[in-house]
Amino acid sequence: MKHFLSIAELNTDELWNLLQLAHDLKAEWKAGGNDPILKGKVLGMLFQKPSLRTRVSFEVGMVHLGGSAMYLSPNEIQLGKRETTADVARVLSRYVQGIMARVFAHRDIEELAAYSDVPVINGLSGYNHPCQALGDVFTAWEKLGDLAGRKLAFIGDGNNVANSLLFAGTKLGMDVTVASPAGYEPHPGVVRLARGFAAESGARVEVSNVPADAVQGADVIYTDVWASMGQEEEAELRKRRFVGFQVNEALVARAKPEAIVMHCLPAHRGEEITDAVADGPQSALFDEAENRLHAQKAVLATLLGPRSLGG
């Protein structure tokens, strides 16, 4: 691993190594603290989109590992406007040991990586959200044990989170079903790629327009907001189109009795998920949010550690 741009780019061993390292780092932290393996290292955090979990978890993760992080706001950088993305990558590479970027266009992440001399981490792009999915499958592994043969049902927009879950789930042998309204399914190219991973792991991928069918036999029910950042003008239209795609108690009852419910947050309670489910006994929402921290520490330790590209 030189960068962490998409789970689709990892092989299964690399993905499992990150999950095992996340487990070990979490246990180490709970037992008294992590070793300061990133002492003297600085992570530059470049944001085009605001964030609670991404900013705080990366900054705290660097502190846990002995390093530090620097927040760069949208107004400070303005990728491709005030300065070219390539020049931003070249300059930041002279100052920091790693770059985490949260952007709209995935091509910006790819260009940062192409011109950077230090590791680049995708904190979110319009194409995928690998840090979120890594934390998600780590949480599912903690809660359910062996993931091979388990079923994950994603209910809602076929967005960047759905894409990364398709990649991560199928690489780990999970059956993944995405249920979206017509016209909001995952991109066919993403589905083809995930089906290729599924063929290697023995998993299955299905795309549906019927949530009740999608959650049958599910071990994990996952949802996300119906309108992501940058889609605010579509919010009212999407509310109408996504009627029937709410994760509520009736839908959860169709899954396995021990199924867990996940959401990447922030949640629009009363829209894609109800309070009764988000705060209910099957909810893993806040364990999932916590695990972003430990999963990302695994990425940081792998990319910025003593023998890494940024070391």
* Active site residue ranges: 102, 129, 132, 224, 264, 292
User: Beta partners for 121?
Assistant: 4, 100
Residue 9 is given by DSSP the state G
Cα-based angle 143, 137, 200 (whole degrees, multiple of 5): 120
Specify the CATH architecture of the domain 7-129+292-304: 3-Layer(aba) Sandwich (3.40)
User: pLDDT tens string for the chain (311 positions)?
Assistant: 999 999 999 999 999 999 999 999 999 999 999 999 999 999 999 999 889 999 999 999 999 999 999 999 988 887 767 889 999 999 999 999 999 999 999 999 999 999 999 999 999 999 999 999 999 999 999 999 999 999 999 999 999 999 999 999 999 999 999 999 999 999 999 999 999 999 999 999 999 999 999 999 999 999 999 987 667 778 899 999 999 999 999 999 999 999 999 999 999 999 999 999 999 999 999 999 999 999 999 999 999 997 555 44
| Cβ-contact 25, 298 below 8 angstroms | yes
User: Looking at residue 232, what is its pLDDT?
Assistant: 75
What is the domain partition of the chain in residue ranges? 7-129+292-304, 132-289
For the chain, state the CA radius of gyration: 19
- Cα distance between residue 219 and residue 176, in whole Å: 10
In the chain the first and final C-alpha atoms are separated, in Å, by: 13
- Cα distance between residue 16 and residue 14, in whole Å: 6
Is the fold of 7-129+292-304 the same as that of 132-289? yes
User: Looking at residue 308, what is its pLDDT?
Assistant: 59
User: Looking at residue 54, what is its pLDDT?
Assistant: 96
| Class of the domain covering 132-289 | alpha beta
